[in-house]
Amino acid sequence: MLANILLLLTAAIWGFGFVAQVLGMNYMGPFAFIGVRFLLGALSLLPIVWFFWRRGYIKEFSTKSLVVASISVGVVLFLAGAFQQVGIVHSNASNAAFITGLYMVLVPIFGLALGRRTSFNAWLGSGVATVGLYLLSVDESLTIGLGDSLLLVGAVCWALHILVIDYFTKKLPALLIALGQFLVCGLLGLAVSVGFETTSWGDVMDAKYILVYAGIITVGVAYTLQVVAQEKAHPTHAAIILSLEAVFGAIGGYAFLNEILSSREFFGCCLMLLGMLCSQISVIDLRKSFSSKHP
């Protein structure tokens, strides 16, 4: 129960983080926001890494392999964050939350390329979520907006990010990869910002509270809560609870940004959430659970 509560808190933090990302665009360019946000996230992870290091939880590793992993994962993270952040500029927090959540459906599909089997419920969830995405993003003229298009590309990058992390965390400490990817992503964001945006120190100070939430809370704190909770939680339960990030994003958009969904968009969101849940619930696990309770 405690693990589930921590996972629910993580989903809420991530969901409301979409509101912070929208508000941050009132003060900074998207790439400057990405840079500062992820560098703050890396800074907040340092004491956690030090704690685990002192306790001996971080085993020996190859520095060269860690650098390769950090760059690889960090570049994919930057692409995912960039498409998401720029997409939010042309969309809203509610759409961003639900469309980004599609990565949960895309991961098992992309896993086919790696020779992994994809279950029936994953295909079912994909179909339902696709219908929901159509209702949410495609208007009566059968066109999809620029913002939602960028968010959809971002969801693809988030799915690839999960697969890349899955590959490297089997060989290297997860916390060190997290720290490395945040540093790489943050530095790339600042580098692009210097070349294409104009952001002053005053702008950063004006957005300091938003950056604290988006960087330290959503990246540093939420990531730690997720790691701690998943030590005790069932993976399927964890995935389902974390998918509620999309619901909290919609709630935050309504409560803080006055974003009101049409009946068509609301129904689309419901279908996308249903698709996410379907893709994570195993029919076999449900049968086992039922038979164990009803001999």
**Residue 48 within a domain:** yes
Q: Which domain holds residue 251?
A: 29-288
Beta bridge partners of 144: 138
Highest mean pLDDT of the ranges 105-109, 152-156, 238-242, 273-277: 152-156
DSSP characters over 155-192? HHHHHHHHHHHHHHTTTS-HHHHHHHHHHHHHHHHHHH
Q: Output the CA–CA distances (angstroms, integers) from residue 233 to 4, 48, 240, 273, 286, in the order listed.
A: 7, 21, 11, 21, 17
Least confident stretch, 2-6, 189-193, 241-245: 241-245
Average pLDDT estimate for 51-56: 86
At residue 258, the 3 state secondary structure works out as: coil
**Residue 12 within a domain:** no
At residue 144, the 3 state secondary structure works out as: strand
At residue 247, the 3 state secondary structure works out as: helix
**Residue 203 within a domain:** yes
115: DSSP letter: T
Q: Output the CA–CA distances (angstroms, integers) from residue 135 to 14, 15, 260, 271, in the order listed.
A: 24, 21, 15, 9
**Residue 14 within a domain:** no
Average pLDDT estimate for 180-192: 95
Label residue 32 by pLDDT band (50, 70, 90). very high
pLDDT in tens, 58-78: 888 899 999 999 999 999 999
Least confident stretch, 84-98, 206-220, 233-247: 233-247
Who wins on pLDDT, 5 or 38?
38
What pLDDT, on a 0 to 100 scale, did the predictor assign at position 268?
A: 83
Rounded to the nearest 5°, which phi and psi values hold at 187? Answer: -65, -40
Label residue 234 by pLDDT band (50, 70, 90). low
What pLDDT, on a 0 to 100 scale, did the predictor assign at position 114?
A: 67
**Residue 18 within a domain:** no
**Residue 117 within a domain:** yes
Beta bridge partners of 138: 144
pLDDT in tens, 82-132: 999 999 988 888 888 888 877 777 877 777 666 666 677 777 877 887 788
At residue 138, the 3 state secondary structure works out as: strand
Q: How many domains does the chain have?
A: 1
**Residue 172 within a domain:** yes
Has this prediction a pTM greater than 0.75? Answer: yes
**Residue 21 within a domain:** no
Copy the structure tokens of residue 20: 């912070």
